[in-house]
């Protein structure tokens, strides 16, 4: 494993309600110096969750919401921020109720994923939710989210849908599908 670069300096060079841009001056082990910029969270630091919620043995819940980054309505998995004092599984169940109108009797933490580690510090906790029941909680979304579903047997065709572009969501669906297949809960 390579030696991490030496941090020569750090400075917040821009900030907004959601993000701060940090400039980091680094010196690598071979003496080369570089300036990196990265997005860091606004400081809340509690993290986020993404939920693969299984309606049945084959189908996972998708939600459609407006995404400011792409200026499009996108399909993805339910997700959201972890609130202060909330654990990952409780946050996943709350977000599932707020965004999709389901709660889960069984929740399992699958993994942690990053979006773009070269430029962002944010990570998201992926949770598998099974044994769903209908329950809705009010959320912070500006409009109701349309709920859809995807068959885990058809993930390769999901990427052909122009409304589904989030790589983390696709990775989470494949991870959940493989875990369910290993457990014998899903037959590919």
Residue with tokens 């990265």: 38
Residue by residue, DSSP assigns 29-51 as TTS-EEEEEEEEE-S----EEEE
Q: Say whether both 97 and 132 belong to one domain.
A: yes
- ∠130-47-101 over CA atoms, to 5°? 35
Do 23 and 55 fall into the same domain?
no
Task: Name the pLDDT band for 121 (thresholds 50, 70, 90).
Answer: confident
If you search the block for the tokens 């309505």, which residue do you land on? 73
Specify if 123 maps to a domain.
yes
17-30 pLDDT tens trace: 777 888 999 999 99
CATH code of 83's domain = 3.90.79.10
SS3 164: coil
Check whether 45 has a pLDDT greater than 70.
no
What is the distance between the alpha carbons of residues 16 and 21, in angstroms, rounded to a whole number?
Answer: 9
Give the structural domain span for 17: 6-40
The pLDDT value recorded for residue 43 is 53
- Sheet strands side by side (includes 123-134): 79-81, 48-53, 123-134, 102-114
Tokens of 171: 């990775």
Q: Do the beta carbons of residue 22 and residue 13 sit within 8 Å?
A: yes
Kindly state whether residue 152 falls inside one of the protein's structural domains: yes
DSSP H or E stretch at residue 157 = helix 155-158
Give how many domains the chain has, as a whole number.
Answer: 2
Return the top range by mean pLDDT from 24-38, 95-109, 135-149, 151-165. 95-109
User: What is the per-residue pLDDT for 92?
Assistant: 98
Q: State whether 146 and 101 are in the same domain.
A: yes
């Amino acid at each position: 494993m390579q030696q991490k670069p030496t941090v020569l300096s750090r400075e917040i060079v821009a900030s907004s309600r959601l993000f701060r841009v940090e400039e980091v001056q680094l010196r690598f082990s071979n003496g080369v110096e570089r300036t990196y910029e990265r997005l860091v969270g606004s400081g809340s630091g509690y993290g986020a969750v993404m939920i693969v919620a299984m309606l049945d043995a084959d189908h996972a819940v998708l939600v459609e919401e407006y995404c400011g980054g792409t200026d499009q309505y996108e399909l993805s998995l339910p997700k959201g921020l972890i609130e202060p004092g909330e654990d990952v599984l409780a946050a996943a169940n709350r977000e599932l109720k707020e965004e999709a109108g389901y709660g889960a009797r069984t929740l399992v933490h699958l993994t942690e994923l990053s979006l773009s580690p070269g430029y962002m510090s944010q990570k998201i906790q992926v949770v598998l939710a099974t044994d769903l029941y209908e329950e809705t909680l009010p959320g912070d979304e500006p409009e109701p989210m349309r709920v859809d579903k995807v068959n885990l047997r058809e993930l390769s065709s999901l990427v052909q849908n122009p409304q589904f572009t989030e790589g983390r969501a696709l990775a989470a669906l494949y991870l959940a599908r493989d875990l369910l297949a290993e457990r014998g809960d899903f037959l590919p």
